[in-house]
Amino acid sequence: MVLGKFIIKNMKKNKIAIIGLGYVGLPLARLFATKYSVVGFDINTDRISELISGIDSTLEVDNETLQSVLISEDSDSNGLFCTNQLEKINDCNYYIITVPTPVDKNNRPILTPLLKASETVGAVLKKGDIVIYESTVYPGATEEDCVPILEKVSGLKFNEDFYAGYSPERINPGDKEHTVEKILKVTSGSTPEMGLKVDSLYKSVITAGTHLAPTIKVAEASKVIENSQRDINIAFVNELAKIFNLLDINTHDVLEAAGTKWNFLPFKPGLVGGHCIGVDPYYLAQKAQEHGYHPEIILAGRRLNDGMGDYVASEVVKCMIKKDININGSNTLILGITFKENCPDVRNTKAVDVINSLKSYGTNITIYDPWANEEEVMHEYALESLKSLPNEKFDAIVLTVSHNKFKELDFLSLKNKNAIIYDVKNFLSEKVVDGSL
């Protein structure tokens, strides 16, 4: 009899709730929906409405692919049902949390969305359920910050009644090649048995395979150091760019030459924006500081990268002065305001640092970005961004983001006599530019 019950319980179909349907949550929900019954839950009603109508404004999932998995009613059949109603995630047995983990103005981690999402899941948690976190955090956040909330709200006991897992996301927004199923995924669970369970869940959809980490803290730490490593490496080449500019040596020529050695890492100088590489190192730094260690390299890298906007602006101004352009009252065209190329994401974009710094020198700014949502830019930064080029000429053109569309621009028609072009990304032909990082 007991055995019969056990078999029936284990035969119950997995039903997955994804909490937070943004850049990370939606592609994951779409992928799981090809094999499981998935309920996508988000507190943003506008986001739910657009998804229900088959549109993803983040452009991570194309409309046809999204529509192919959408189901209009909550059911146990495979597919994705999107909702903002808590009761619709009641009968799930896996809860995967993919909410934002930003920092405040003092660069301290903001765990509020993660803790709120844990409250949400705590309210529907049942015996046997597994809660998997995907948001990028510092080691310890899942078990020390989130699990106590799950326990408190649900009244259930961790690792007896319910379990946890952590599987960091590695997607790269705008990258149509490395999509979620094609990136090997690190998995972990709160007990060895749960580790295997979480791992096999992901293995069933991630074609690139999985790596089962021994503990949740290991998996959490692995993600935060991936992004910290990139940040530090970019800071190093940014520092090189500053040195080589002083020495009048082309940084990219140096990197190309050094890159011919098999173990030289191919990083390029640039602005480090977005909500991952420029943010995650602060999570690790915070945890280190809580334990009495003041990270030196991690924070030096952050400081250097955060100062690049001002540096670029000062270099642009120097180029303009060399060509006798009167800075005060001049007109500057900024090409790109998103945080990276070929992607509409404007969160924590460092192009804004370049713009604000240039404005402080007295130049008038026009921003052209065919990818950015004008309202979002206005809302986030109180800046006007144009989706089509104005019929004007400029004294300076600064390429801050290497959107493919910028390759097609007729720069001559945009330039006033003597105007300069500064290329932050080393994206344009050397023949047309006056300066680059």
Interior CA angle at 17 toward 16 and 23, to 5°?
115
One residue of 17, 18, 24, 346 binding ligand NAD per CB under 6 A: 24
Quick check: 363 binds ligand NAD (CB under 6 A)? no
Q: Is 165 in the site for ligand NAD (CB under 6 A)?
A: no
d(CA 336, CA 398): 9
Q: Does 220 bind ligand NAD (CB under 6 A)?
A: no
Stretch that binds ligand NAD, among 17-25, 86-94, 234-242, 256-264 (CB under 6 A): 17-25
- Shortest separation between residue 100's beta carbon and ligand NAD, angstroms: 4
* Per-position b or e across 244-277, b if 16+ CB within 10 A of its CB: bbeeeeebbebbeeeeeeeeeeebebbbbbbbbb
State the minimum distance, in angstroms, from the CB of residue 217 to ligand NAD. 17
By CB under 6 A, tell whether 101 contacts ligand NAD: yes
Among candidates 54, 80, 82, which has minimal Cα distance to 69? 80
Tell me whether residue 89 or residue 337 sits nearer to ligand NAD (CB atom): 89
Q: How crowded is residue 132: how many other Cβ atoms within 10 Å of its Cβ?
A: 27
Angle 175-179-184 from CA coordinates, rounded to 5°:
125
Full 3-state SS string of 227-277? HHHHHHHHHHHHHHHHHHHHCCCCHHHHHHHHCCCCCCCCCCCCCCCCCCC
Range in contact with ligand NAD (rule: CB under 6 A) among 28-36, 75-83, 165-173, 423-431: 165-173
**Active site annotation includes 276:** yes
Asked if 269 interacts with ligand NAD (CB under 6 A), we say no
Q: Binding segment for ligand NAD among 19-27, 123-131, 146-154, 296-304 (CB under 6 A)? A: 19-27
Which amino acid, residue 68?
S
Among 68, 107, 116, 381, binds ligand NAD (CB under 6 A): 116
- Residue 315 sits in the site that holds ligand NAD (CB under 6 A): no
Among 6, 12, 44, 418, binds ligand NAD (CB under 6 A): 44
The interaxial angle of helices 297-306 and 308-322, nearest 10 deg, is 40
Q: Report the residue number, 135 or 436, with the smaller CB distance to ligand NAD.
A: 135
Q: Is the dihedral of CA 367, 371, 374, 377 positive or negative?
A: negative
By CB under 6 A, tell whether 82 contacts ligand NAD: no
Site residues for ligand NAD, window 118-147 (CB under 6 A)?
120, 134-136
Q: Which is nearer to ligand NAD, 33 or 312 (CB)?
A: 33
d(CA 346, CA 355): 14
| Closest residue to bound ligand NAD by CB | 22
State the catalytic residue, choosing from 82, 146, 276, 343: 276
Q: Six-digit token pair at 237?
A: 């080449």
* Contact between 167 and ligand NAD per CB under 6 A: no
Residue 347 Cβ vs ligand NAD, minimum distance, rounded to whole Å: 7
Q: CA angle, 82 as apex, 62 and 109 as ends, to 5°? A: 85
Catalytic residue IDs = 276
| Contacts to ligand NAD by CB under 6 A | 19-25, 41-44, 47, 98-101, 113, 116-117, 120, 134-136, 169, 171, 173, 275-276
